[in-house]
Amino acid sequence: MLFSSCFFSCRFHMGNLLKVLTYNELDQGPNFFLDFENAQPTEAETAVWNQVNAVLEEAQTILAELQSYTGAGQEIREAIQNPGDLRLQERAWSAVCPLVAKLKRFYEFSLRLENALRSLLEALTSPPYAPTQHLEREQALAKQFAEILHFTLSFDELKMTNPAIQNDFSYYRRTISRNRINNLQLDAESEVNNEMANRMSLFYAEATPMLKTLSNATTKFVSENKTLPIEDTTDCLSTMACVCRVMLETPEYRSRFTNTETLLFCMRVMVGVIILYDHVHPVGAFAKTSKIDMKGCIKVLKDQPSTSTEGLLNALRYTTRHLNDDTTSKQIRALLQ
């Protein structure tokens, strides 16, 4: 097998892992090529894997429901245009209530996803192993971490392109407020009370609500684990970014994928860990001292068809924290223009 000229050694490890030692322009040392398609949990990983898997099993259902979410736009418009028509008001309310119940499920799932991420961060950063050793030893957990990021960016891409979500929820809240003023109690209030509606409103007001949830959870994890060096968390993220970049830019490795969807999976995961890194690391992902090769990551995205990467490039443009800092080079900014 031919390897890129930057590789100086490789070997198979634990069946599912191809370890590739590379030196890129940032001299970052070891990167691990993880088998995202086939990694299975070892006995030591099983407890955390089972806990996270119970959450991930629901992820595809959530995505399918969001993808098929059409909203109650027509019913709402008719109700607003005919405020005196009680039949149209009831029709709009009947259309919106089950949709808001669905939005509540999405929000509650984000809380479960947050807990799953915390469990994985604890497992992948705990002493005595370094983050790169964790990723090598616990490939199945690394795969689950990647699956959470893949779900997160998939969810947010669908949410950003569906204005019906905000419109439906706004109409629901306005109707609740109006009826509260008139001392009317609606059945739906018992399912989505005012406190829950406030929390959901903050969640859906975000352009990328799932990503914001994970970013906040990662930042909170770092701040609450004061005995754990912040580098243990950020090194885990930067190593994962390198894994994905090497996987994407090397034809020999891309040819190993048995599923064409794995390519998009890798791109989403790479972007997700970059954004998390940028939110958690004090100077972010774009500074010269960053352990992530941002130029290489952006280039590998731009080398793909724009239909599959424009949303990911927008995520880097608009959901990172440090892109517009003075420490970001003009070259990186130009790449994201």
Spatial separation of the C-alpha atoms in residues 4 and 252, rounded to whole Å:
9
Spatial separation of the C-alpha atoms in residues 246 and 28, rounded to whole Å:
13
Give 14's DSSP letter.
T
Grade residue 188 by pLDDT with cuts at 50, 70 and 90.
low
The domain ranges of the chain are: 31-206, 228-336
Grade residue 22 by pLDDT with cuts at 50, 70 and 90.
very low
Over the stretch 320-335, which tens digit does the pLDDT of each residue have?
Answer: 989 989 989 999 999 9
Pair 246, 22: CB distance under 8 Å: yes
Instruction: Name the average pLDDT for the chain.
Output: 84
pTM equals 0.83
pLDDT at residue number 194: 81
pLDDT at residue number 134: 85
Q: Is the pLDDT of residue 13 over 70?
A: no
Helix 261-280 and helix 294-302: axis angle, to 10°? 150
Strand partners of residue 30: 21
**Could you give the dihedral angle defined by the CA atoms of residues 103, 117, 140 and 9, in that order, rounded to the nearest 10 degrees?**
120
Spatial separation of the C-alpha atoms in residues 212 and 318, rounded to whole Å:
12
Over the stretch 110-147, which tens digit does the pLDDT of each residue have?
Answer: 999 999 999 999 999 888 888 778 887 888 999 999 99
Q: pLDDT over 90 for what percent of the chain? A: 47
pLDDT at residue number 185: 52
CA 268 to chain centre: 8
- HEC profile for 238-290? HHHHHHHHHHHHCHHHHCCCCCCHHHHHHHHHHHHHHHHHHHHCCCCCCCCCC
pLDDT at residue number 293: 93
Mean pLDDT across the stretch 60-79?
Answer: 95
Spatial separation of the C-alpha atoms in residues 241 and 261, rounded to whole Å:
18
Mean pLDDT across the stretch 17-43?
Answer: 59
Over the stretch 207-251, which tens digit does the pLDDT of each residue have?
Answer: 889 989 998 999 899 888 888 878 888 888 998 898 889 888 888
pLDDT at residue number 209: 93
pLDDT at residue number 47: 95
Mean pLDDT across the stretch 284-308?
Answer: 90
pLDDT at residue number 186: 55
- Which backbone phi and psi does 30 adopt, to 5 degrees? -70, 140
3-state secondary structure of 32: strand
Q: Is the pLDDT of residue 15 over 80?
A: no
Q: Is the pLDDT of residue 29 over 70?
A: no
Strand partners of residue 18: 12, 33
Cβ count near 265 (within 10 Å): 22
Lowest-confidence region among 48-57, 183-192, 277-286: 183-192
Does residue 170 or residue 35 have the better pLDDT?
170
Q: Is the pLDDT of residue 168 over 90?
A: yes
Does residue 123 or residue 184 have the better pLDDT?
123
Q: Is the pLDDT of residue 11 over 50?
A: no
Scan for tokens 């690391």, then name that residue. 281
Q: What is the CA radius of gyration of the chain?
A: 22
